[in-house]
């Protein structure tokens, strides 16, 4: 029996970087090789394989019950640039492993089950996330992609066509027959590791607001401008960031706020910055709490600006609503964990996943396994072989309950 860890190493060989990481961007040769290799393995394991027009790959185990709708399980095959072997890949190989072991042990299910390797989730080549799952659920259209280009200027439609996909290529568009989606994924955080739990049962995927703040001060000579005459944009921005972080902590978990990107103008040691631009990323699993926290942080920025006699412009350029996973599925996973004697915790997902796209269309569940040091999007991503197997055991029992 092939262990999940072996599958992870095998899939990581497609697009492998010299430093042990993986770069497998949408519609590139290494991406195509990975999908084709997965297709071959799925067939070897007795699954019926097919692509849709976007390049999502499916491996179907036909149910005997004659029911039209089916269960989908899997994750995305693409990676970030210089990413790791586990993000996305784990959900695909866990699905294949679970399906092949169930088939070996129990034969065909009553209800059809499909494994999926979504073509894209990371948005690392083109400035668009969740292409695979939004295509499948009919929430994305080719029209929206027609103007999209990668950093080399290659158009999305051209890249898709070169990889052998696009309108009509495989005769399969959005799906109406998926009634359940289950995604296994590495946590990409350190909560399970710190609390020594094997399984994270995702209750919600957090909502997210993203802002750009522009602080307008006055650029001046660092030597000839007394402190009292300054309108120092970096001093104001720093005071804002200190207050944002303190207030986020006062608000309490699970609220998180991050200033990840910052630019000083002109950004030279002997000039007082006349302008500072920075981003704020704010996340919470509850829509109302997210709204309240966001408004409060915006007010904080404004208060500091007023206090220092400077102007601050704020623009919200991302607004993703939090979404809950299916309660019955979540409860079922908890029961399974208890039966299997696995340590677990219910938790929100702080990162976005394909599961959030499906949750708006069908019952959806998501299961996390630990990430060593919480490290993700890095060649250093790692989950222990036993932990990978723990997740698959949960998936197998869940699929058995739902399909057999």
Q: Which stretch binds its own copies (CB under 8 A): 37-45, 92-100, 169-177, 223-231?
A: 223-231
Query: Does residue 253 bind its own copies (CB under 8 A)?
Result: yes
Strand partners, 283: 208, 256
Q: Which among 98-106, 108-116, 248-256, 387-395 is the span making contact with its own copies, rule CB under 8 A?
A: 248-256
Q: What is the CA radius of gyration of the chain?
A: 23
The end-to-end CA distance of the chain, in Å, is: 22
CB of 180 to its own copies, least distance (A): 25
User: Which residues have C-beta within 8 Å of that of residue 275, sequence separation ≥ 6?
Assistant: 214, 215, 216, 217, 219, 233, 264, 265
We find the least distance from the C-beta atom of residue 366 to its own copies, in angstroms, to be 13
Total chain residues near its own copies (CB under 8 A): 58
Site string for its own copies, 130-169 (x = CB under 8 A): ----------------------------------------
CB-side neighbour CA atoms (13 Å) of 344: 25
Query: Bridge-partner residues for 264, per DSSP?
Result: 276
Q: Is 296 in the site for its own copies (CB under 8 A)?
A: no
256 binds its own copies (CB under 8 A): yes
Q: Which is nearer to its own copies, 232 or 326 (CB)?
A: 232
Of residues 113, 264, 367, 395, which one binds its own copies by CB under 8 A? 264
- Asked if residue 318 lies in contact with residue 208, where contact means CB atoms within 8 angstroms, the answer is yes
Residue 187 makes contact with its own copies by CB under 8 A: yes
Q: Indicate whether 325 belongs to the interface with its own copies (CB under 8 A).
A: no
The only residue of 22, 119, 191, 202 in contact with its own copies, by rule CB under 8 A: 191
> CB 273 → its own copies: shortest distance, Å?
6
* Closest to 381 in 3D by CA, of 190, 95, 198: 190
* Number of helices and strands in the chain (H, E): 12, 16
Question: Any idea how long the chain is?
Answer: 404
CA distance 333 to 367: 8
Question: Beta strands of 217-300 (E only): which ranges?
Answer: 220-221, 256-258, 262-265, 271-272, 275-284
Residues 363-392 that bind its own copies (CB under 8 A): 374, 376-377
**Of 255, 301, 329, 388, which one interacts with its own copies (CB under 8 A)?**
255
Phi–psi pair at 339, nearest 5 degrees: -60, -40
Binding site for its own copies (CB under 8 A): 187-191, 194, 206, 208, 210, 220-229, 232, 234-235, 237-239, 241-242, 245, 248-249, 253-262, 264, 267-273, 279, 281, 283, 349-352, 374, 376-377
């Amino acid at each position: 029996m092939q262990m999940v860890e072996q599958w992870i190493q095998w899939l990581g060989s497609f697009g492998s970087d010299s430093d042990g990481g993986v770069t497998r961007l949408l519609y590139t040769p290494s991406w195509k090789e990975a999908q084709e290799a997965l297709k071959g393995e799925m067939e070897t394991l007795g699954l019926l394989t097919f692509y849709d027009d976007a390049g999502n790959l499916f491996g179907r185990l036909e149910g005997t019950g004659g029911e039209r709708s089916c269960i989908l399980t899997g994750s995305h095959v693409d990676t970030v640039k210089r990413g790791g072997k586990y993000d996305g890949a784990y959900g695909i190989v866990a699905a294949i492993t679970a399906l092949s072991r169930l088939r070996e042990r129990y034969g065909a299910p009553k209800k059809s089950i499909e494994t999926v390797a979504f073509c894209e989730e990371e948005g690392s080549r083109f400035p668009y996330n969740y292409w695979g799952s939004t295509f499948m659920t009919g929430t994305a259209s080719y029209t929206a992609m027609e103007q999209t280009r990668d950093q080399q200027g290659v158009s999305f439609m051209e890249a898709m066509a070169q990889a052998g996909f696009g309108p009509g290529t495989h005769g399969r568009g959005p799906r109406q027959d998926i009634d359940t989606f289950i995604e296994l994924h590495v946590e990409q955080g350190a909560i399970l590791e710190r609390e020594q739990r094997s399984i994270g049962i995702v209750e919600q995927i957090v909502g997210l607001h993203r802002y750009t703040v522009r602080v307008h001060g006055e650029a001046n000579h660092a030597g000839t401008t007394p402190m009292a005459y300054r309108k120092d944009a970096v001093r104001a921005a720093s005071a804002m960031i200190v207050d944002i972080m303190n207030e986020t902590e006062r608000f309490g978990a699970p609220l998180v706020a991050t200033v990840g990107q910052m630019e000083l103008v002109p950004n030279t040691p002997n000039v007082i910055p006349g302008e500072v631009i920075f981003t704020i990323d704010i996340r919470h699993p509850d829509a109302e709490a997210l709204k309240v926290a966001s408004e409060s942080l915006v007010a904080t920025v404004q208060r500091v600006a007023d206090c220092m006699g400077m102007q601050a412009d704020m623009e919200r350029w991302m607004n993703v609503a939090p979404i809950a996973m299916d309660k019955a599925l979540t409860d079922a996973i908890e029961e399974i964990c208890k039966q299997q004697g696995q340590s677990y915790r219910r938790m929100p997902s702080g990162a976005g996943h394909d599961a959030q796209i499906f949750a708006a269309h069908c019952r959806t569940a998501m299961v996390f396994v630990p990430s060593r040091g919480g490290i993700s999007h890095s060649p250093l991503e790692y989950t222990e072989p036993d932990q990978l197997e723990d997740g698959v055991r949960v998936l197998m029992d869940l699929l058995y309950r739902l399909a057999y």
